[in-house]
Amino acid sequence: MNYPVWELPMGGGVLMALVSVLHVFVAHLAIGGGLWLVVAERSARRRGDAALLALVKSQSRTFLLLTLVFGAITGVGIWTTAALISPQALLALIRAYVWGWAMEWVFFIVEIAAALVYWYGWERLDARTHQAVGWIYFIAAYMSLVIINGIVTFMLTPGGWLENKEFWTGFFNPTYWPSLALRSAAAAAQAGLFVLVTAAFLKRGDARAEEARVWATRRGAAWVAAGVAAFAAALFWYRGALSGAIPDWADLAAGAIPVLPRVVALMWAGAAATFLLALWPLAAPRRWHPAGAVLLTASALVLFFGGEWVREAARKPFTIHGYLYTTGLRVDQEPEVAAAGVTAFTRWRDPAAATPAERGRDLYRAWCLPCHTRDGYNAMRPFLGHRTEAEIVDFLPRLQHMRARMPAWHGNAAETADLAAYLATDADRGAAVFPADRDAAARLAWDAHCGTCHTLDDYRPLRPSLAGNTREDFEAMLDMLPDLAAEMPAYGGDPVERGHLLDFLTGAAGADPDRSAE
């Protein structure tokens, strides 16, 4: 609303997710890996094991490249991308937490300097000083996490900050500690991953080098397994804290937000796969293989991807929960918008826009595009293809009742008509085709209408009300939806579509287990 919205075919959220996941993946590795290096170096020196020391040194070079080149720059990348995708939220985060960022920056300098000195110091520093630098690296890296964790959790569960706007209230928010536990566990697991991957790709040397490799492999595997197990345990603590802070969390996880259950499942699958794969090098370190390392990396990526996505999805429709919507509107501005209409709050209006559809396009960019795309992620076209303009006008004021947790649409009648005119233009609607397969067509008719607000069995379940009714009952029901609940729009599908939907409802009423998905 305050800023122009960057039109990206795949959606801004996708780009943000890509950069964040890559960064978070390497950032945790950069923390845990630092601990691994000092611990392993100390072991090697205590035992006078030159082969192990050589191995640690070679790992530290990969580590340097990975953390400095990839870790640090993707970190900058998050800032760059956030400025492009959610400028309003970034500015708020900076205003509220600039001292936090500044503190984190100090640790960042120390971390980077220590990483360089550690690497260049292998030949030049005495053992004690070299290890001291290693510890300095690890402590600085971990302190970065301690600070960033406060700001990241603040966005999801700002807690008391919403009332008092105090730095430390928002910082030590309801999910701070469980999240720190989660991330610490993840860092340990990532350190193990780093060890396993480097060990797998190491050139085979003499017997002693091989012993060192096996030593490291076994320990790396233990770190992964222990890290993932601790992660899973911390997840329960985290979930408890989250349900406390976001009261309808149970609803969300049960499918109020359509993607959430799938994403949670993805995260668990990633965790399980990572854990199981780590058992291989734990049991048979000599037979640990590059293929395993690739699989392990992939499954850990799935875990991180799932985890970050859950956090993102749980935050909808806010970027700072309870304070700022994804559209850049503050919650406290809502009454004003509701009274004055959205146009006054749409800064980027094309002076050349003359027709309703052209004016609607500006509204669409400001109020829908932050979360939607035409055909990419969260695409609108498949949905709009099955709606008439009148239906669109009817559903716009009900967006906030949909499962998706969208912000309410506060347009007045004229603005709603403009937006609907734009959404109904052929270019942006796509075609309303139904697949030939009757079951698939029935499913689509359901998804496009009732499924946006209901599920059959979980969130706002319909099956209980459908049970025992006949097709004729449903015919009547479709004509009186607004009478059943004010939140519901009238049904206006054409006869073909109506037929498909009736098929679905009759099937569901018969409790046909095939139809009970979602």
Partner 1 sequence: MNPYVPTPDVLPIPATAPLFEALLHLTFLVHLLFMNALLGGGAILLGSLFARGGDRELHEAVIERISKLLPTLFAGTVTFGVAPLLFMQTLYGGFFYTSSILMGWPWFATVPLLIVGYSAIYLNSFRGRRLGGGRRWAAAVAIGCVALVGFAFSNNTTLMLTPEKWSRLYFASPGGLHLNLGEALLWPRFLHMALGAVAVAGIMLALLARRERTDARLREALTRRGLDVFLAATVVNIMIGFWYLLALREDVSRLFMGGSGHATGLLGLGTALSLVLLLLAWRVRVVPARSLKPLAWSTLLTLAVMILMRDAVRKGYLAGLANLHEIPVRTQTLNLVIFAVLLVAGITTVVWMVRRLLAAPSR
Chain residues that interact with partner 1, rule: CB under 8 A: 2-8, 15, 19, 65, 68-70, 72-74, 76-77, 79-81, 83-84, 87-88, 90-92, 94-96, 98-103, 105-110, 112-114, 116-117, 120-121, 123-126, 129, 133, 136, 140, 165, 167, 330, 347-348, 350-352, 365
Picked from ligand HEC, partner 1, none, the partner binding residue 398 (CB below 5 to 8 A depending on kind) is ligand HEC
> E strand or H helix at 123, and its extent?
none
Angstrom distances, CA of residue 49 to CA of 125, 204, 213, 504: 18, 17, 12, 70
Closer residue to partner 1 (CB): 74 or 184: 74
Place of tokens 């050349």: 352
Distance CA 259, CA 307 (A): 13
Q: How far is the CB of 367 from partner 1 (least distance, A)?
A: 15
Beta strand extents in 349-389 (DSSP E only): none
Cβ atoms of 221 and 192 closer than 8 Å = yes
Q: How far is the CB of 26 from ligand HEC (least distance, A)?
A: 28
Q: Is residue 132 classed exposed, middle or buried when 0-12, 13-18 and 19+ CB atoms within 10 A define those classes? A: middle
Cβ atoms of 258 and 447 closer than 8 Å = no
Picked from partner 1, ligand HEC, none, the partner binding residue 21 (CB below 5 to 8 A depending on kind) is none
Closer residue to ligand HEC (CB): 70 or 504: 504
Please state the φ and ψ torsions of residue 330, each to the nearest 5 degrees: -80, 150
Picked from ligand HEC, partner 1, none, the partner binding residue 212 (CB below 5 to 8 A depending on kind) is none
Picked from partner 1, ligand HEC, none, the partner binding residue 116 (CB below 5 to 8 A depending on kind) is partner 1
Closer residue to partner 1 (CB): 330 or 460: 330
Closer residue to partner 1 (CB): 3 or 434: 3
Distance CA 185, CA 228 (A): 7
The CA-CA-CA angle for residues 250, 16, 233, to 5°, reads 40
Picked from ligand HEC, partner 1, none, the partner binding residue 209 (CB below 5 to 8 A depending on kind) is none
Closer residue to ligand HEC (CB): 183 or 372: 372
Q: How far is the CB of 365 from partner 1 (least distance, A)?
A: 7
Distance CA 104, CA 141 (A): 9
Q: How far is the CB of 503 from ligand HEC (least distance, A)?
A: 13
373 forms bridges with which residues in the sheet? 379
- The answer to whether the peptide bond before residue 317 is cis (omega within 30 degrees of 0) is yes
Structure tokens at 76: 């900058």
Picked from partner 1, ligand HEC, none, the partner binding residue 460 (CB below 5 to 8 A depending on kind) is ligand HEC
Picked from partner 1, ligand HEC, none, the partner binding residue 489 (CB below 5 to 8 A depending on kind) is ligand HEC
Cβ atoms of 157 and 321 closer than 8 Å = yes
Residues that bind ligand HEC (CB under 6 A): 258-259, 316-317, 326-327, 367-368, 370-372, 378, 383, 398-399, 401-402, 404, 406-407, 409, 449-450, 452-454, 460, 462, 465, 477-478, 481, 484-485, 487-489, 491
| Residues shown for the chain | 518
In the 8-state DSSP scheme, what is residue 318? E
Q: How far is the CB of 411 from ligand HEC (least distance, A)?
A: 8
Structural Rg of the chain based on CA atoms? 27
Picked from ligand HEC, partner 1, none, the partner binding residue 367 (CB below 5 to 8 A depending on kind) is ligand HEC
In the 8-state DSSP scheme, what is residue 465? H
In sequence order, what DSSP letters do the residues of 124-178 get, joined into one string? TS-HHHHHHHHHHHHHHHHHHHHHHHHHHHHHH--TTHHHH--HHHHHT-TTHHH
Q: How far is the CB of 282 from ligand HEC (least distance, A)?
A: 39
Q: How far is the CB of 30 from ligand HEC (least distance, A)?
A: 32
Structure tokens at 271: 């965790």
Picked from partner 1, ligand HEC, none, the partner binding residue 13 (CB below 5 to 8 A depending on kind) is none
Beta strand extents in 220-331 (DSSP E only): 318-320, 324-325
Q: How far is the CB of 430 from partner 1 (least distance, A)?
A: 20
Closer residue to ligand HEC (CB): 336 or 447: 447
Closer residue to partner 1 (CB): 54 or 222: 54
Pairing relationship of beta strands 324-325 and 318-320 according to DSSP bridges: antiparallel
Closer residue to ligand HEC (CB): 191 or 466: 466
Q: How far is the CB of 378 from ligand HEC (least distance, A)?
A: 5
Q: How far is the CB of 3 from ligand HEC (least distance, A)?
A: 14
Picked from partner 1, ligand HEC, none, the partner binding residue 117 (CB below 5 to 8 A depending on kind) is partner 1
